[in-house]
Amino acid sequence: MELFQDILDKKHPCDEVTYATIINGFCKAGKTGEAFELLKKMCDDKRIRPPVSCFSPVIDFLSKEARVDEALSLFKQMINLGFVPDVVTYTSLVHGLCKLGRWEEPLSVLIDSLFKEDKIKEEISLFELMTKERVETNVVMFSSLISALCKSSRSNEAAEFLDSMYYLMLSPTTLQSMDCVI
């Protein structure tokens, strides 16, 4: 970190590739905290927009260190900033959650991020696969899917999923889930 700080102090320009390389190096050296701090600085700086390649190693190593809540928080921040997670990011997060016995969360995370990326077709496919494979679904997953369908003016499909919720004896957590189908 000292060498990097010297580079910054001497006003040498650093681009996204330089940051990504240093962040990845910190993670591989077991200094995930320093990588996380550097990524935060980068996000706060506004002059350089961190690419996904800056987020992925931090999320990966936080997950490997069983700091999954921090990894989830960073993942959500990444999506809120408009970044599309890559396969590496998803895989790291899913492995970390499953390793801690938090089996239901990876599916919720995936469905929620598909919703935010406006990938309704993929969200429905995943949901149908989960149902076919008898993977337990929850209210959050249904609500996310119903909201996505409503926003896409697909209220008939939303109504079908709402019916499925009632059939499974799940109650919508908000009236938003029901607004477009009523």
Is the separation of the CB atoms in 142 and 164 below 8 Å? yes
Residue spans of the domains in the chain: they are 1-103, 111-182
Tokens read off for 79:
């999506």
Distance CA 148, CA 116 (A): 9
- Residue 3 binned pLDDT confidence (cut-offs 50, 70, 90): low
pLDDT top residue among 78 and 10: 78
What is the sign of the dihedral through the CA atoms of 81, 27, 110 and 107?
negative
pLDDT at position 145 is 79
Tokens read off for 139:
């209210």
Tokens read off for 127:
């949901």
pLDDT top residue among 68 and 6: 68
pLDDT at position 177 is 46
pLDDT at position 98 is 77
pLDDT tens profile 12-47: 667 788 888 989 999 999 999 999 988 988 888 777
Average pLDDT over residues 137-164: 81
Q: Which of 154, 134, 146, 150 is nearest to 171 (CA)?
A: 146
pLDDT tens profile 56-99: 999 999 999 999 899 988 988 888 888 877 778 887 888 888 78
pLDDT at position 58 is 94
pLDDT at position 180 is 52
pLDDT at position 175 is 44
Residue 10 has pLDDT above 60, yes or no: yes
List, as one string, the DSSP characters of 125-160: HHHHHHHHTTPPP-HHHHHHHHHHHHHTT-HHHHHH
pLDDT tens profile 101-129: 776 676 667 777 776 666 777 777 777 77
**Is 1-103 a CATH 1.25.40.10 domain?**
yes
pLDDT at position 44 is 82
pLDDT top residue among 16 and 141: 16
CA 64 to chain centre: 16
pLDDT top residue among 149 and 46: 149
Count how many Cα atoms sit within 13 Å of the Cα of residue 132 in the half-sphere of its side chain. Answer: 6
pLDDT at position 29 is 93
Residue with tokens 């790291």: 92
